[in-house]
């Protein structure tokens, strides 16, 4: 083999190595793009699930509120005959157990009632009225009209409250 053929062969090999490196770099970019796409897709899927869960919670809150309202008006069973009283007391105990289960599930999923003791905070409370409050500082919450709810720290529904003048 003469010198010219050797140089030509070396140039072809160099050219082939350059092409291999170019293809390898392209493949690596495609892999990185694919990984980024997977991450973005997972993020979007997570956002969709979060939105769907938030919407579901908005739909469930009125039922939870009504359940709490019903428990606030449980009948006094003391005047009932013994047999009826036991039946009603057992039924009420079951209803309170269901409420306890609701509360535990809410806690487990990050759903919590907004605190309504203390001073009015417009970020989490909605003042529906002002009244004169005995021994109350202006802006203190006097009464809760409707419970407010947070989910993972985000206000789903502000608490509707009456505040002191």
What are the pLDDT digits (tens) for 68-121? Answer: 888 888 888 888 899 899 999 999 999 999 999 999 999 999 999 999 988 899
89 and 57 within one domain: no
Q: Tell me, yes or no, whether 15 and 35 share the same domain.
A: yes
Q: How many CB atoms lie within 10 A of CB 141?
A: 21
State the total domains in the chain. 3
Closest Cα partner for 124 from 164, 152, 156, 158?
A: 158
Q: What is the mean pLDDT of residues 35-50?
A: 91
62 and 85: one domain? no
10-20 pLDDT, tens digit each? 666 777 788 88
- Supply the mean pLDDT for the chain: 88
pLDDT band, very low/low/confident/very high, at 46 (cuts 50, 70, 90): confident
Segment holding 157, helix H or strand E: strand 154-157
Predicted local confidence at residue 159, as pLDDT:
95
What's the domain range around 100? 76-109
The CATH number covering residue 145 comes to 2.30.22.10
Output the CA angle 156-161-164, nearest 5 degrees.
145
Q: Is 159 exposed, middle or buried (0-12, 13-18, 19+ CB in 10 A)?
A: buried
For residue 6, pLDDT beyond 70: no
Looking at the structure, do residues 9 and 63 belong to the same domain, yes or no?
A: yes
């Amino acid at each position: 083999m003469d010198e010219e053929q050797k140089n030509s062969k070396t140039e072809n090999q160099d050219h082939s190595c350059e092409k291999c490196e170019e293809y390898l770099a392209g493949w690596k970019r495609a892999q990185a793009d694919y990984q980024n796409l997977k991450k973005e897709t997972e993020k979007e899927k997570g956002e969709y699930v979060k939105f769907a869960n938030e919407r579901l919670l908005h739909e469930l809150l009125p039922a939870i509120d009504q359940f709490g309202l019903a428990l606030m008006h449980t009948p006094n069973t003391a005047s009932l005959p013994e047999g009826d009283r036991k039946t009603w007391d057992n039924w009420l105990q079951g209803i309170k157990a269901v409420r306890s289960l609701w509360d535990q599930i809410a806690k487990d999923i990050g759903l919590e009632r907004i605190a309504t003791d203390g001073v009015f905070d417009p970020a989490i409370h909605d003042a529906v009225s002002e009244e004169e409050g005995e021994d109350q500082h202006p802006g203190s919450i006097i009464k809760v009209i409707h419970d407010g709810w947070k989910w993972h720290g985000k206000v789903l529904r502000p608490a509707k409250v009456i505040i002191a003048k």
